[in-house]
C-alpha cells in the first residue's frame, strides 16, 4: 500500500484526530438521491483535502428515476478529474452499485458511505487513522455510535448482526454500517455473489475466510433529512435472507466453490 500516515487536523465534525494518506478513492451509491447528491459531493470536496493528498469522488447512480443522473453528470463536468459518475440504466440493487463503485476506484485505499448523508465525510478520517495504525488492518468497519434509524430497522439490524455472528463467525458490531474502508490489495482475490443488501456482509465473510484482518471504529450517525430509505422493504429483506442462506449452505458443503462464486469485487482489467 502506498498510503502513509502523517498528523493532520481535526475531522471537522467531532474534533477527533485523523490520519492522512497519499491517495483515497471515495464513492457512494445513490438511488433517487437528487435532494442529497450535490450537498454530499460539496461536503466531500471540502473534507477530503484534509485526509488525502490525492482523492477521487465517485457517484454511482443505480438506475435513478429522478434528477440524480443529471446532477451527477453536472458535478463531474464541474470538477473534471476529481468527480466521476457511474450510471446503471436500471435499478440493479445495492450490492451491484457497491461493486460498480469498487470497480471504478483507482487508488490503494477505497472507502464508501451511502448517498443519504447519514454519515459526515469528515468522519472518514476516523477510519483512516485506524488503517494507518501500527497493526495495519486490511479493513476498517465503522459502527454507528447511536443509530439514527426507525425502530424497525434497528430491530432488523440486531437480528442480522446476531445471525452473521452465529452462522459465519463475523463478530463486528455493525455489519451493515455503510461506512467502510479497504486496502485495495485485500480485495483483489475476493468474489461476491450477492447483488443486494447482503453484499457487504458476504464481502466481510469472505475476507475473514481469506485471513484478512478487520478493525472497527465508532462513527456518528445522523437522521436522513431528504429522500426515502429502501433498506427495510420486504423485497430487499427477502433477497438478503436468500443470499445469506445460499452462502451458508455452500460454505458448509464446498467452501472452495463458495469462495470462488460470484463476480470479482475489483475490475480485473485495472489490476
What's the CATH architecture for 21-262?
Alpha-Beta Complex (3.90)
Angle CA 230–226–180, to nearest 5 = 60
- 180, 184, 190, 196 alpha-carbon torsion, rounded to 10°: 40
Continuous segment of H or E residues that includes residue 145: none
Helix, coil or strand: residue 207: helix
Predicted TM-score (pTM) of this structure? 0.89
For the stretch 175-217, pLDDT in tens is: 999 999 999 999 999 999 999 999 999 999 999 999 999 999 9
Checking if the pLDDT of 271 tops 80, the result is no
pLDDT tens per residue across span 101-131: 999 999 999 999 999 999 999 999 999 999 9
Classify the C-alpha dihedral 171-177-181-182 as positive or negative: positive
Largest CA distance in the chain: 51
Would you kindly state where each structural domain of the chain is located, as residue ranges? 21-262
Amino acid at each position: 500500500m502506498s498510503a502513509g500516515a502523517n498528523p493532520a487536523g481535526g475531522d471537522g465534525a467531532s474534533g477527533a484526530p485523523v490520519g492522512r494518506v497519499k491517495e483515497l478513492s471515495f464513492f457512494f451509491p445513490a438511488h433517487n438521491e437528487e435532494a442529497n447528491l450535490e450537498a454530499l459531493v460539496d461536503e466531500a470536496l471540502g473534507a477530503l483535502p484534509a485526509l488525502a493528498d490525492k482523492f477521487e469522488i465517485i457517484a454511482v447512480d443505480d438506475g435513478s428515476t429522478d434528477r440524480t443522473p443529471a446532477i451527477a453528470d453536472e458535478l463531474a463536468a464541474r470538477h473534471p478529474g476529481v468527480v466521476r459518475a457511474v450510471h446503471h440504466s436500471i435499478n440493479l440493487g445495492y450490492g451491484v452499485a457497491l461493486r460498480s463503485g469498487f470497480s471504478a476506484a483507482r487508488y490503494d485505499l477505497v472507502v464508501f458511505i451511502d448517498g443519504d448523508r447519514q454519515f459526515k465525510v469528515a468522519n472518514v478520517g476516523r477510519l483512516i487513522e485506524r488503517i494507518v495504525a501500527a497493526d495495519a488492518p486490511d479493513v476498517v468497519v465503522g459502527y454507528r455510535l447511536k443509530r439514527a434509524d426507525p425502530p424497525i430497522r434497528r430491530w432488523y439490524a440486531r437480528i442480522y448482526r446476531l445471525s452473521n455472528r452465529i452462522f459465519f463467525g463475523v463478530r463486528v458490531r455493525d455489519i451493515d454500517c455503510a461506512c467502510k474502508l479497504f486496502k485495495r490489495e485485500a480485495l483483489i482475490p475476493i468474489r461476491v455473489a450477492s447483488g443486494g443488501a447482503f453484499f457487504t456482509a458476504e464481502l466481510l465473510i469472505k475476507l475473514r475466510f481469506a485471513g484478512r484482518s478487520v478493525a472497527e471504529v465508532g462513527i456518528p450517525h445522523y437522521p436522513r433529512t431528504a429522500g426515502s430509505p429502501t433498506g427495510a422493504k420486504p423485497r430487499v429483506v427477502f433477497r438478503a435472507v436468500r443470499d445469506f442462506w445460499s452462502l451458508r449452505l455452500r460454505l458448509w458443503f464446498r467452501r472452495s466453490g463458495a469462495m470462488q462464486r460470484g463476480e470479482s469485487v475489483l475490475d480485473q482489467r485495472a489490476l
